[in-house]
Amino acid sequence: MSREFLPEDEFERSIRRKYADWNFIEKQPTKIKMALKLFIETGDSYKAAKLAGLTIDEFEEIRIKAKIPKVIVREN
């Protein structure tokens, strides 16, 4: 069963895409690159870290270098 994406998910994804350093991402080894793209699409650090074969801590360091933000939407 495919996941249902809500407007909030789409909004968060658009922000991750916008701020990401795509030059940095494209220069990474394949597994890291795919993991960063997975994070951009889903916001899920655990799955991204496991795809890259890393701990979440290791993945977080790379996420910050790739300038991909964690998005926390505030209600107006």
Partner 1 sequence: MIASIDTCFIIDWSKYRKRHLLEKIFDYVFTTEEVLNEVSSENTLEYVLNLMIKGFLVIYPFKTELSPIVRKALEISVSDPRIPSLDPPEAYALAIAYKENCICLTENKGVLRLVEYYNEFKKVKVWRSLELFKYLYSKGLIEDFEKELENYSRDTGHVFPKKRFS
Measuring CA to CA, which residue among 29, 35, 30 is closest to residue 63? 35
Q: What one-letter code names the amino acid at 21?
A: D
Distance separating alpha carbons of residues 18 and 43, to the nearest angstrom: 14
How many angstroms from the chain centroid is the CA of residue 58? 14
Residue 44 touches partner 1, criterion: CB under 8 A: yes
User: Could you say which residues in the range 45-74 bind partner 1, by CB under 8 A?
Assistant: 45-47, 49, 55-58, 60-61, 63-64, 67-74
Q: Does 31 bind partner 1 (CB under 8 A)?
A: no
Which residues form the interface with partner 1 (CB under 8 A)? 1-4, 6-9, 11, 15, 19, 42-47, 49, 55-58, 60-61, 63-64, 67-76
